[in-house]
């Protein structure tokens, strides 16, 4: 992939999508691209945040280690996603660890360049704040999903997000292992297995790293159904 193709992907990121072209070009000119193998660490929890990251290809997970030593997955990012905007601009330490879930390439934009651009053009600050707000909105959505949906519905939503089809039958390739999927959805691995079993009745068949969906529309209706409706049937 050449530089122009990488910059085209980066321009669609949360950080750069809303920036004026001139401002985006300043940031892209300062950016470097780094390749990571699967399992490699991009940065550690507690390290000084010096850059904003954009995924050019591959998958990256952000996680924290709890006091009891368990891993809590905060977010998973893929092609075109940006992350670490807020902490980098404030000169803080990373509150999470970032790890490559697959082989990936990451574009890194020095936070100092973004800060200097904001000082020259305050309008850029609004766009950067908007990017931070979108990340917050996504996290709130994850919390709402965990509160309002059953485990099987959360898995159904996850499969629908990955589906390249809008209707009919479809085969979805699971991008990473089931342990990480469970963590991303706020579930235990055994709960994920039970959710997959429940989805068989809804036309979902899991085989290794593939999910065959018999009817996208039916699965979407299932994921959107209010679990509280079941109480009215008692």
Is pLDDT larger for residue 227 or for residue 213? 213
How far is residue 91's CA from residue 89's CA, in Å, rounded to a whole number?
5
3-state SS string for the chain: CCHHHHHHHHCCCCCCCCCCHHHHHHHHHHCEEEEECCCCEEECCCCECCEEEEEEECEEEEEEECCCCCEEEEEEEECCCEECHHHHHCCCECCCEEEECCCEEEEEEEHHHHHHHHHHCHHHHHHHHHHHHHHHHHHHHHHHHHHHCCHHHHHHHHHHHHCCCCCCCEEEECCCCHHHHHHHCCCCHHHHHHHHHHHHHHCEEEECCEEEECCHHHHHHHHHCCCCHHHHCC
pLDDT digits (tens, 9 = 90+) for 59-115: 999 998 877 777 888 888 999 999 988 888 788 899 999 999 999 999 999 999 988
pLDDT number for residue 208: 85
The pTM of this model reads 0.80
How far is residue 82's CA from residue 106's CA, in Å, rounded to a whole number?
9
Residues 13-38: what's their mean pLDDT?
Answer: 91
Q: Which domains does the chain have, with CATH numbers?
A: 3-146 (2.60.120.10), 149-232 (1.10.10.10)
- The mean pLDDT of the chain is 87
pLDDT number for residue 234: 41
pLDDT digits (tens, 9 = 90+) for 112-158: 998 888 888 887 887 777 777 776 777 666 666 666 688 899 899 98
């Amino acid at each position: 992939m050449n530089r122009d193709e990488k910059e085209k992907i980066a321009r669609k990121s949360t950080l750069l999508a809303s920036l004026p072209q001139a401002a985006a070009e300043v940031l892209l000119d300062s950016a470097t691209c780094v390749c990571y193998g699967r399992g490699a660490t991009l940065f550690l929890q507690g390290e000084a945040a010096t850059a904003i990251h954009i995924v050019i290809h591959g998958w990256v997970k952000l996680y924290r280690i709890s006091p009891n030593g368990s891993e809590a997955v905060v977010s998973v990012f893929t092609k075109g996603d940006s992350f670490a905007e807020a902490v980098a601009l404030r000169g803080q330490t990373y509150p999470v660890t970032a790890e490559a879930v697959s082989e990936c390439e990451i574009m890194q934009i020095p936070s100092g360049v973004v800060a200097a651009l904001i000082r020259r053009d305050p309008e850029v600050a609004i766009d950067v704040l908007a990017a931070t707000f979108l990340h917050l909105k996504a996290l709130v959505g994850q919390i709402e999903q965990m509160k309002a949906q059953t485990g099987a519905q959360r898995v159904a939503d996850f499969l629908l997000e990955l589906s390249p089809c809008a209707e009919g039958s479809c085969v979805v390739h699971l991008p990473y292992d089931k342990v990480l999927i469970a963590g991303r959805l706020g579930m235990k691995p055994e709960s994920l297995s039970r959710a997959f079993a429940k989805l068989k009745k809804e036309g979902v068949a899991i085989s290794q790293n593939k999910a065959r969906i018999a009817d996208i529309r039916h699965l979407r209706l299932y994921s959107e159904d209010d679990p509280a409706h079941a109480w009215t049937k008692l």
